Amino acid sequence: MYNLLIVDDERLERVALKMYFDQNMKECKLCDEAKNGREALDMISQNTYDVVLMDIRMPGEDGLVIAKEVKKKYPHIAVIMLTAYAEFDYAQRAVKLHADDYLLKPSRPEVIAGTISSVLTIRKDAEPKMNHSVEAEAFIKELISAHYLESCIAFDTYIQNRSGKMDVQKADIKLILEGFLRLCEQYQLDIHDENLEKIKNMKHFYHDNAIFYNYIHEIMEDLFYEIIEKKLCRHAREIDYALDYIEFNLRRKLSLDMISKYMNISSQYFSRYFKKEIGITFVQYLSERRIALAQKEIMYTDKSFGDIAFELCFNEANYFSKVFKKHTEMTPSEYKETIQLGAASRQNQYVLSKSWMI
């Protein structure tokens, strides 16, 4: 799967290519278009692309200048230049200097698609083989896509399945650090000094589950605040913006009116829409996610049940215990004892069904 950006000042060229990729190329997850180089750079700074298909001659700064800037800032992106026959020599120089490949205009869409596949295959084969874990890869994939809920779920899976092999641990840490830096660069985010220190020192606390877990989530909260407030990420479904907002605010008092205002729709409509999309009510979903977070707090911190209940907006510890048992079939103390005995497994941990994820 790859994300593609088409850059061409000729509108008909852009529309025709986008239509082809949207309708015929299942490997192309996202296909966007830009009418000039500056617009392309703005879009690249806000989204995740694997390939940029760019006309070599455009008004203003030409494709060669833009390709150079893309390669400097985003070396992981493949750049393929489109050029007229008269500019053939120019295109060859472009490949030597900056681009991954070039095509003569006009080229059939299927030829362009084939060239993209070839370039991506070559780049993948050329990448040094890392020993990082599959779970770490899944976490970073969601992180750099700026999907907050999915990032949290992927990180939980990762921390529960961390490898004991030293080479994998080192590779995982490197991958996670690069992931945070890519997220900051992609969305032009500032990291607070204390969280920058955590990123720098993360490798020293890798083996301490509690510190490592809290470090990651504190850094994520710092970085995702602006992403979620301004809806900077791209979701395929509108409901995913609501799910990210809810997940980010589990420790805050949340109401139907607050989330409806965030989604810019009436509370009555949002209530029906949420039930239709997720299969349960907003209140039920909020309760489930808070209990899922409470489990992690019990597992990775030494907080009292009362403190956890208060932080997750339950009015009293007894009510929290009642709701916790409803979802997990254990009281908080029973769950903690199970964890301490080392008998906790995925089947006794409450995990929210992902049947609503498409």
Residue 105 has pLDDT above 80, yes or no: no
Provide the mean pLDDT of the chain. 84
Q: What percent of the chain has pLDDT over 70?
A: 89
266: buried, middle or exposed (CB in 10 Å: 19+, 13-18, 0-12)? Answer: middle
**Per-residue confidence at 347, pLDDT binned at 50, 70, 90?**
very low
From residue 248, alpha-carbon distances to 36, 150, 229, 292, 302 in Å are 36, 11, 10, 13, 22
Look at residue 255 in the predicted model and tell me its pLDDT.
93
pLDDT at 343 over 50: no
Between 47-56, 152-161, 191-200, 306-315, the lowest mean confidence (pLDDT) is in 191-200
- Nearest-5° Cα angle at 130, 47 to 212: 75
Structure tokens at 207: 């083996």
Q: What is the number of helices (H) and of strands (E) in the chain? A: 17, 5
For the chain, what is the radius of gyration of the CA atoms? 24
Question: 10 Å Cβ neighbour count for 143?
Answer: 24
Say if residue 96's pLDDT is above 60: no
252-293 tens-digit pLDDT: 999 999 999 999 999 999 999 999 999 999 999 999 999 999
What residues contact residue 211 under an 8 Å CB cut-off, 6+ apart? 205
pLDDT for res 204 = 80
Distance CA 86, CA 356 (A): 53
Which of 199-203, 230-234, 272-276 holds the top average pLDDT? 272-276
Distance CA 299, CA 295 (A): 6
SS3 at position 37: helix
- Cβ pair 104, 85 in contact under 8 A: yes
pLDDT for 108 equals 85
Pick from 210, 211, 199: nearest CA to 175:
199
Q: Any idea what DSSP says for residue 33?
A: E
Half-sphere exposure of 255 (CA within 13 A, CB side): 5
Distance CA 216, CA 195 (A): 9
**pLDDT value of position 269:** 96
CA distances from 72 to 57, 79, 144, 185, 264 (A): 20, 12, 19, 13, 38
CB 53 within 8 A of CB 120: no
Rounded Cα gap, residues 61 and 283, in angstroms: 52
pLDDT tens digits, 118-149: 888 877 766 655 578 889 999 998 998 899 99
Range in 14-23, 169-178, 203-212 the model is least confident about: 203-212
Kindly tell me if the per-residue pLDDT of 358 is higher than 80. Answer: no
pLDDT band at 306 (very low <50, low <70, confident <90, very high): very high
* Whether 334 contacts 323, CB under 8 Å: no
